[in-house]
C-alpha cells in the first residue's frame, strides 16, 4: 500500500483556481508525479495545483512546499495555492503572518481578513536567461514570437516575465476572441520556452484594471492563476500601460496586484474558499503500487 493512503488532504480554491493541500510535515514522505496524478483522480480532488507541505528547510520559515500541476509536473510558484496553504496553517490560531518556502522563492503571507490573504511573491525576473528563453532578447517587454501566418498572425509579440515560473503575456483587445484552449498548448511547448511557459491573454481596461485569461503550464485552461496576474501587472507597468497597482480580473474573480516601488516586490491579495477535507483513498494508488 502506498504510504500516502489515508493521508489527510484538503481541497480549496483561490478565485476558482482549484487547489489541493497535502501536509506531509513530520512524515519524511514525498510525492511522485504519478502519485500526484493519482490524487487528482480522487473524488472531488481534481486540482490545478497540489501543494505538498514538508518540514522547513530554512530558519524562520513555517514549511517547505513542493507544487505539482495536474499532469504530475512540478511548478516553482503558485500564488493562489500559497494563499490556500496560509489559510490552512493559520486557521484557528492567533497568528496573522507566516513564511513559506519553495524551490524558487521565500513567500511571506499575511492574513487580511478571515479568508483574505496577501502574499509577497518577491521580485520578478526579467532577463531572457532568467525567464528562461531560448534566444537572448535584450528587451523582454516584447519578444519575437507569433502564431499564425507571418503576414497576419493570430497572436504576436508577447511580454515575458518570470514570477517563480515563466510567463508569456499577449496583449489583445478581447481576451475571449481567441481559442486559448487550442492555442495555449502550442505556445506552452514552443521551443522558445525551454522550461515551457504559462500563456496569458491580457486586455488593459484602464490604468488600474486588467482582464486576463490563462493557459497554465501543466494544467491547461484555469479560472485563475495568481503568478500570471502578477506577471501581467509587471509587464503592463514595464510597457507603460498601467499604474503599479491594479485589479486583475480573471474568469474566477479579482486579485489586487501591486508592484511595490520601494523594493520591486510583487504583492498579491485575494480570497480563499475552503471546500472540504478528506483522506486519500488507498485505491487511488493501487496501480502505482502494483
CA distances to 8, 107, 143, 193 from 130, in Å: 37, 19, 14, 11
Tell me phi and psi for residue 280, to 5 degrees: -70, 125
Contact predicate 118/267, CB 8 Å = yes
Read off the DSSP letter of residue 176.
T
Burial 19-53 (b: 16+ CB within 10 A, else e): bbbbbbeeeeeebeeebbbbbbebeebebbbbbbb
Q: Which of 78, 84, 109, 230 is catalytic?
A: 78
Residue 225: active-site member: yes
- Which residues are bridge partners to 1 per DSSP? none
E strands along the chain, which residues? Answer: 8-14, 17-23, 49-54, 63-69, 74-75, 97-101, 106-113, 116-123, 146-147, 155-156, 159-162, 166-171, 198-206, 209-216, 220-222, 245-250, 253-259, 265-271, 273-279
Beta-carbon contacts of residue 209 (< 8 Å; ≥ 6 apart): 242, 246, 247, 249
Q: Determine the Cα–Cα distance for residues 68 and 22; give it in Å rounded to an integer.
A: 11
Cα end-to-end distance, the chain, whole Å: 9
Catalytically active residues, by annotation = 78, 225
Amino acid at each position: 500500500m502506498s504510504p500516502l493512503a489515508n493521508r489527510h488532504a484538503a481541497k480549496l480554491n483561490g478565485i476558482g483556481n482549484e487547489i489541493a493541500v497535502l501536509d506531509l510535515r513530520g512524515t519524511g514522505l514525498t510525492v511522485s508525479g504519478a502519485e500526484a496524478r493519482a490524487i487528482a483522480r480522487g473524488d472531488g480532488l481534481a486540482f490545478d495545483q497540489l501543494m505538498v507541505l514538508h518540514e522547513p528547510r530554512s530558519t524562520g520559515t513555517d514549511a517547505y512546499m513542493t507544487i505539482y500541476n495536474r499532469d504530475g509536473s512540478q511548478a516553482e510558484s503558485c500564488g493562489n495555492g500559497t494563499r490556500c496553504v496560509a489559510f490552512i496553517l493559520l486557521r484557528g490560531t492567533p497568528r496573522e503572518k507566516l513564511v513559506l518556502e519553495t524551490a524558487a522563492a521565500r513567500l511571506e503571507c499575511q492574513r487580511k481578513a478571515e479568508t483574505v490573504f496577501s502574499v509577497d511573491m518577491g521580485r520578478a525576473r526579467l532577463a531572457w536567461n532568467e525567464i528562461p528563453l531560448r534566444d537572448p532578447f535584450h528587451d523582454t517587454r516584447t519578444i519575437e514570437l507569433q502564431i499564425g501566418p507571418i503576414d497576419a498572425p493570430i497572436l504576436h509579440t508577447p511580454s515575458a516575465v518570470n514570477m517563480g515560473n515563466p510567463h508569456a503575456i499577449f496583449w489583445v483587445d478581447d481576451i475571449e476572441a481567441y481559442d486559448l484552449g487550442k492555442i495555449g498548448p502550442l505556445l506552452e511547448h514552443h521551443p522558445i520556452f525551454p522550461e515551457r511557459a504559462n500563456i496569458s491573454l491580457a486586455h488593459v481596461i484602464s490604468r488600474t484594471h486588467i482582464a486576463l485569461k490563462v493557459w497554465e503550464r501543466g494544467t491547461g485552461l484555469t479560472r485563475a492563476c495568481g503568478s500570471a496576474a502578477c506577471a501581467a501587472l509587471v509587464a503592463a507597468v514595464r510597457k507603460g500601460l498601467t499604474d503599479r497597482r491594479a485589479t486583475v480580473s480573471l474568469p474566477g474573480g479579482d486579485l489586487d496586484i501591486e508592484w511595490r516601488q520601494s523594493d520591486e516586490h510583487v504583492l498579491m491579495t485575494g480570497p480563499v474558499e475552503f471546500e472540504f477535507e478528506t483522506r486519500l483513498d488507498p485505491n487511488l494508488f493501487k496501480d502505482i503500487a502494483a
